[in-house]
Amino acid sequence: MSDSRPIPKIYYDQAFTLCYYSELLWQKSLVEGNGGNLSLKLENNLFLTTPTLHSKSGLNETDLVIVDSLGNQLYGERHATSELFAHLAIYKNNPEIGGVIHSHPPYTCSYAFSDSIPSVPLSAESVIWMDELILAPYNMPGSQEFIDQIESLSRGRHVLALQNHGLITWGKDLKEAFWRTEVVESHCKVSHIMESRGAAPRHFTYKQMTQLNDLRNRFLKD
């Protein structure tokens, strides 16, 4: 099928949502240049994505691309994001989700571009939306090794820090994925400030973590 056909108008509401969160990422300086990418799940195992080589600011429905679960481009006048197959790997591993965001938040990247990251949640919000943060070892973006790594590590999680690359988050929709992006960046910013002051983090007790995990499970179920 030709990749020059614009996306059907029946998907314009979803296109507006994707463009909204794309613009929000750019406005909040969570992406730069043409960096970052977003996708959301449509019906019939189709996916709406941002295009490659385009700022996340100023997108509209004519810029977006629709692909199938194998990555075949069905609609769109541009080409899909170069990170497409990493997104598809996450959807494959987590069939209940509806949106994925890859971003470059500066405080998160200040850790991801090193050999360690503050993994333990320090707030109720980070327990609910972040859970334990892990740092995926570097693999060349877009490579099969990178895609295989994402597919393996995404199971049972909602966030991954990518060494020398950035952050990827997902959720039942793009709103959840965006909230997770914000919460991880706030967690890393606070951790950075504490380290600069020489302050030691105060961790939750086992009982407190149990209560927060129960709250998280109830909250996300609802």
Give the model confidence (pLDDT) of 48-73 as tens digits.
Answer: 999 999 999 999 999 999 999 999 99
Give SS3 for 151.
Answer: helix
- What residues make up the domain containing 37? 9-221
Question: For position 131, what pLDDT does the model report?
Answer: 82
**Domain count across the chain:** 1
Here the CATH number for the domain that contains residue 198 is 3.40.225.10
2: in domain: no
Predicted structure pTM score: 0.94
1: in domain: no
Question: For position 222, what pLDDT does the model report?
Answer: 65
3: in domain: no
14: in domain: yes
Measured between its terminal Cα atoms, the distance across the chain in Å is 40
What is each CA distance from 35 to 20, 133, 139, 168, 220, in whole angstroms?
16, 22, 17, 12, 30
Residue from 83, 176, 182, 185 carrying the catalytic annotation: 83
128: in domain: yes
Question: For position 18, what pLDDT does the model report?
Answer: 98
Question: For position 5, what pLDDT does the model report?
Answer: 86
Question: For position 221, what pLDDT does the model report?
Answer: 77
Residue 60 has which token pair? 């509209």
Contacting residues for 144 by C-beta, under 8 A, at least 6 apart: none
Question: For 178-213, how does the pLDDT look when each residue is reduced to its tens digit (9 = 90+)?
Answer: 999 999 999 999 999 999 999 999 999 999 999 999
Name residue 73's beta-bridge partners. Answer: 67
**Quick check: 100 and 90 in contact, CB under 8 A?**
yes
Query: Does 83 participate in catalysis according to the annotation?
Result: yes
Nearest alpha carbon to residue 131 among 81, 72, 180: 180
Question: For position 193, what pLDDT does the model report?
Answer: 97
Q: Give the angle 175-176-182 at the CA atoms, nearest 5°.
A: 90
81: in domain: yes
Q: How far apart are CA 172 and CA 149, in angstroms?
A: 22
What is each CA distance from 5 to 15, 19, 112, 163, 219, in whole angstroms?
15, 19, 38, 36, 41
pLDDT along the chain (222 residues), means of 10: 74 97 97 96 95 94 96 94 94 95 98 95 93 93 93 93 97 97 98 96 94 88 71
4: in domain: no
Question: For position 217, what pLDDT does the model report?
Answer: 87
